[in-house]
């Protein structure tokens, strides 16, 4: 008998919401609430990190500083998600893009405010910080 044909009863759905420690990245989350998107820059080798890293995996320095990103980005690639994962079932199909910022870091974020037919690789977009209706700080690409 295969496991899928075994008799079962459904248990109630379980929601897991672990608390993630953010003390080392608190400025990033607070920045989003204030409309700012921060990266970290290594004081040792100068490498820029987004999402921000508290330590530098390149030169192993723990001395990093906060840099506010310019918000000016160019779309490098994108995908339109029709078959959404379980946690996004309540959303309409959405577009996710990778944008390269003026500072050189690449950011993966939702792309909103465009018709799908308008979206082109190489187009200019703006990276904005926002707070979702559920109160979670996040960021997305919008028309410049």
* Site for Zn ion, rule CB under 5 A: 42, 44-45, 56, 58-59, 61
When the beta carbons of 46 and 143 are compared against Zn ion, the nearer one is 46
Minimum distance between the CB of residue 102 and Zn ion, rounded to whole angstroms? 21
Q: Nearest CA to 94 among 115, 77, 80, 105?
A: 80
When the beta carbons of 45 and 116 are compared against Zn ion, the nearer one is 45
> CA gyration radius for the chain?
19
Contact (CB, 8 A) for 42 and 59: yes
When the beta carbons of 41 and 99 are compared against Zn ion, the nearer one is 41
Minimum distance between the CB of residue 100 and Zn ion, rounded to whole angstroms? 21
Q: Collapsing DSSP states into helix, strand and coil, what is residue 11?
A: coil
When the beta carbons of 66 and 110 are compared against Zn ion, the nearer one is 66
If 0-12 CB within 10 Å is exposed, 13-18 middle and 19+ buried, where does residue 120 land? Answer: exposed
Residue 33: DSSP 8-state: H
Pairing of strands 124-131, 106-111: unpaired
Minimum distance between the CB of residue 2 and Zn ion, rounded to whole angstroms? 52
Minimum distance between the CB of residue 62 and Zn ion, rounded to whole angstroms? 9
């Amino acid at each position: 008998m295969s496991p899928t044909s075994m008799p079962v009863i459904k248990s109630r759905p379980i929601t897991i919401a672990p608390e993630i420690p953010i003390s080392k990245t608190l400025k990033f989350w607070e920045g989003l609430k204030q409309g700012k998107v921060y990266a970290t820059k290594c004081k040792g080798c100068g490498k820029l990190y987004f999402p921000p890293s508290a330590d530098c995996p390149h030169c192993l320095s723990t001395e990093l500083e906060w840099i506010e990103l310019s918000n000016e980005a160019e779309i490098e690639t994108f995908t339109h998600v029709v078959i959404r994962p379980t946690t996004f079932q309540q959303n309409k199909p959405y577009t996710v893009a990778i944008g390269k910022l003026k500072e050189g870091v690449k950011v993966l974020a939702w792309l909103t405010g465009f018709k799908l037919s308008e979206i082109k690789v190489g187009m200019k977009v703006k990276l904005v910080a926002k707070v979702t209706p559920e109160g979670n700080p996040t960021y997305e690409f919008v028309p410049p």
